[in-house]
Structure 1
Amino acid sequence: MHPDHDTGGSDALPLSGRIGRGPSELLREEVLDPQFRYEADHLLPHYIAIEQALVAEYLRMGLVTAEQAADLHGLLGSATREELLAGREASMSDIAFSLERHVEAGLAEPVAAWHVDRSRNDLQSCAQLMAGRARLIDAAGTLLAFGRAAHRLASRYADAPMPGYTHLQAAQIISPGFYLAALSEQVLHTARRLLSTYDAIDACPLGAGAMAGQELPWDRDRLAALLGFGRVQPLALTSVAYRGWALEITAEFGVFGVALSRFTTDLMAWGSSAYGYLDLPDELSGISSAMPQKKNFPVLERIRGRSAHLSSCHLDAVLGQRNTAFSNSVEVSKEAGSQLSVAFDTFESVLRLATAVLDHVRFDTRRMTEACEKEFLGGFTLANALTLKEGVPWRRAQVIAGRYVVAATEAGLTPAQTDPALLKRAAAALGFELTAPEDVLAGVFDVRRALHAPRSEGSARPEAVEAVLRAQDKEFERLGAAWATHDRTTRGAEGGAGVSAGVHTGA
């Protein structure tokens, strides 16, 4: 073979007759070798499973013998990352070519029909989607574990009063349990959306060829089943061109990251010396190098900071695909997905850190109760009482309640020190004569009573929170079972049992 036509290596058969030389050293170092290493680390098991499924189809179509199919299947299964890396130069630093070389080198006799009617386009698309599915299952498991941690913590603190804030001002009495139930609900919302995303993308692209389909009668339904897919991607073009699943997954990650950053902001505030509502153990805390009195919580800053990367990864995927042709291209299939692994890694890392925080945080119930007792948080209750007990129109009742709070504050009274005379004067100034101001004020600023006062479903009342938590517990069970089913289907197929049976039986 003339060296000018060596597109694989000095001792290898050429991979193409179209060009005479392999990739330059620059392309290998900057693009091809890093991509090869990434695919060898993350996609190799999927490439092998796909190739083995295709061997099963060659056997079904009568293009290879049972003995040849068994040899091909076994050689594919014997491929290792290290061996493929060592031979990458002879394969243009392409993992699909490298896997092909590995098998051909191990065959006693060439199998002419092996790789007939084939393209790397649907092969790559399928391997990437399989990797994405597997990682999404892992991510969902980490998400649900975090949600369970929030749920457990909510159950412990459903009856502990604390100030709730609107516009950064103390507003009404809630509990950490009520607040954390909202975090738990956000997790369930995201887990449902990710489950829907999984179901939507669970369509096998294999059998699409380069873009227009293939010439042999491939059984695409069988290929999908062998690889654990729920169905076939109907259109060949969509199979090789579409990478919207990466956008959808990273979008959900980004949306959750925004929500998590908001919850983390509250924890950061509540853990500050200004509030002192919560504390973390020393192993999750930090110090100041200059101020020995300080105990910092940098883990919360890490969580909030890393959550921003989730949106960045989504934006990278969006811009990588935007304005590209709707067909297979390296730009879309490789560059546009370069941060997808980072997105998965970051999502799970943030969740593991946040789970550790929730598993170890302690709320200071005494300090939270004292904070409630310092504020006139029963203003809303007072306005209600003025309307319901004295017949004061609601908006006027709001004005009277506000004026009472101002007058009581100016008089140096605490919320517990009610003054019916002040309330009577505030009402009289608006033309209302109260018949029993002491009854109106009775208990309106009592902290425990305020926590139990709401009667509507979904309120901060401990019984209402517990009802929500019971419903959430059932939803965690349902979603956990659904994701476990996907895990068994996906891992079982990719483990090779179904493919192996297909190869050895020709089924």
Structure 2
Amino acid sequence: MAAPLTGRITANPHSLLHEEVLAPQFEFELEHLLPWYLAIEKVLALEYLRMGLIDAGQAELIGKALHGITATTVSADPERNMSDIAFALERHVDRRLPAPVPAWHVDRSRNDLQACAQVMFARHQLALTADALLALGRSAHRLAGETTELLMPGYTHAQAAQVITPGYYLAAVGEEVLLAARRLLTAHDEIDLCPLGAGAMAGQELAWDRDRAARLLGFAGPRPHALVAVASRDWALRITGELSLFGVVLSRFTTDLISWGSSEYGFIDLPDAYAGISSAMPQKKNFPLLERIRGKTAHLAAFHVDTLTGQRNTPYSNSVEVSKEAGANVLTAFRTARSAFTLATAVLDNLEFRADRMREACEREYLGGFTLANLLTLDEGVPWRTAQVVAGGYVLAAAEQGASPRDVRPDLLRQVAKDHGFEITEPQRLLATAFDTDASIRRKVSAGSTRPDEVRTMLADQSDRYDGIQAAWDARRRRIREAGAESDRLLGLTSG
């Protein structure tokens, strides 16, 4: 029987508690939080050294014992460590010290230790997820640049509305990615505060240098309030919320791709390796990958709600319910988001737009109706609302006669306008201009429009913003790496 870890509890964890709760939690933390626990323990040793509670030799021995720990050197044991990873690390180090170090772990609590490791885990996962998100944006950016001149119908209320281009649409995808990436970076910076030194809830009794500890762990600074440091899991709420928000956006883009890939539209295609079949209908080529992406975005919303409800109505202090159960699906949320982003990137990297089908759709619809109304007002002096009525009347009458948009009927337009009290002097020119499909995207001259030059301007700006956000993430990673290297150097674990 190992020495007791506390005098209050005299029995080791029950086998049921070990098997159902403690061992699974231990394995999770061993796989995903161990590097952060070890980094924290090294900083704690440096703090004891700074305060004069241990000497340099003891600090180095503790550091070396910690440095040698891997996922295979510690394990959940109800008798030896109560199946708790913090106790397991403590016991592992104790057994490797030539003599006891009485002050090691004095004035310590697991509460801020666990909270700190979890935030460090969150920062790491958030950076990986940002990488996947930015890769998606870069893919959309590349494809947008290749398709700024390709015509396609844009839809409102599920009806063909105006001529746009895939490049214009994909620039919108890129814009949403950039907004989400910026929000993730902001979320990172807002949670980048170190809980270490908060103790159990009310602070600590020794003069811990929380600023130094935060710096050595790569944080921007310490979490100012000790209770907030151990009670709050705002990082889980914030991050799952951001992932669910972009999941909604991605689901909408994916819905468009699903529609465009249908046999009714036929605007896009994917290689056979990214397609599916029907076991009963051999004529079909399905795109279940798109359905998978959209389905994964639903999980992101569910994981956020799960995290919210797990914390709701709990006391504002450290608790297992908040720190562990409420965050049980946070890693799954990260992984699901990265999977959705990676799959969507593969779609964009392999997507083919069918120019013929998209042009045909543009030319069979009267997508120049808005232009015709503008011309009636600007060139012929017809009041705007009346111009709308005249343009709509022409489209209705021409369609009833079986005319296509390119089969201009100047006499018909003249008659419709006359019926509303106006004489049109150049109906042939108005109609030829309004329903010139190729010229339609160049008539849009406002900033941010589908005009190819405007799209290229937006894409150039987006490229700079991608570079800026990537540089910001790189800087934060570098700070964390350098902090870890500094801790090891101070403990004599490296020669640098």
Which bracket does the TM-score occupy, shorter chain normalised?
Answer: over 0.9
The aligned runs of 1:440-479 (5 Å cut-off) are 440-479=430-469
**Does residue 316 of the first structure (1) align with residue 272 of the second (2)?**
no
Contact conserved, 1:88 with 1:98, CA < 8 A, in 2?
no
1:500 to 483, 488, 495: 488
Shift of 1:89: 4.2
Q: Pick from 354, 357, 361: which aligns with 1:367? A: 357
Offset at 1:492? 3.3
Report the Cα distance in structure 2 between the residues aligned to 1:331 and 1:199, rounded to whole angstroms: 26
Q: How does 1:92-491 map to 2 (within 5 A)?
A: 92-491=82-481
* 1:35-90 Cα deviation digits (max 9, x unpaired): 00000000011000000000001111111111111000000111122221164641
Identical counterparts, % of pairs: 58
Q: Quick one: distance in 2 between partners of 1:316 and 1:426?
A: 59
TM-score by length of 2: 0.98
Distance 2:420 2:314 in 1: 68
Q: Which residue of the partner structure matches residue 4 of structure 1?
A: none
Deviations 1:76-133 (A, max 9, x none): 1111222211646410100000000000111110000000000000000000000000
Instruction: Identify the residue that residue 3 of structure 1 maps to in structure 2.
Output: none
CA contact (8 A) 1:137 1:486 kept: no
Deviations 1:333-362 (A, max 9, x none): 110110000010001000000000000000
Mark the runs of 5 or more structure 2 residues left unpaired by the alignment: none
Amino acid at match of 2:141: H
Preserved contact between residue 277 and residue 363 of structure 1 (Cα < 8 Å): yes
* Residue identity opposite 1:128 in structure 2: Q
Asked if the contact 1:125–1:240 (Cα under 8 Å) also holds between the matched residues in 2, the reply is yes
1:135-180: CA deviation from partner (whole Å, max 9, x where unpaired): 1111111110110000001001111010000000000000000000
TM-score normalised by length of structure 1? 0.96
130-139 vs 88-97, greater mean Cα deviation: 88-97
Instruction: Tell me the alpha carbon deviations over residues 279-325 of structure 1, each in whole angstroms, 9 at most, x when there is no partner.
Output: 00011100000011110000000000011010111001100000111
Instruction: Return the letter of the residue paired with 2:487.
Output: V
Runs of 4+ displaced beyond 3 Å: 86-89
Q: Give the distance between the partners of 1:481 and 1:74, measured in 2 at CA.
A: 34
User: 2 CA distance for matches of 1:473 and 1:107?
Assistant: 54
How far apart are residue 503 of structure 1 and its match? 2.6
Q: Could you tell me which residue of structure 1 aligns to residue 36 of structure 2? A: 46
Which amino acid counterpart does residue 60 of structure 1 have in structure 2? R
Following TM superposition, by how much is the alpha carbon of 1:435 offset from its aligned partner in structure 2, in angstroms? 1.9
In 2: Cα distance, 1:392 partner to 1:244 partner: 58
Q: Could you tell me which amino acid in structure 2 is paired with residue 498 of structure 1?
A: E
Within 1, Cα distance between the matches of 2:414 and 2:492?
Answer: 91
- Structure 1 runs not aligned, ≥5 long: 1-9
Inter-partner Cα distance in structure 1 for 2:78 and 2:390: 81
The range that moved more, 87-96 or 370-379, is 87-96
Distance in 2 between residues matched to 1:390 and 1:500, nearest whole Å: 79
Q: Which residue of 2 aligns with 1:7?
A: none
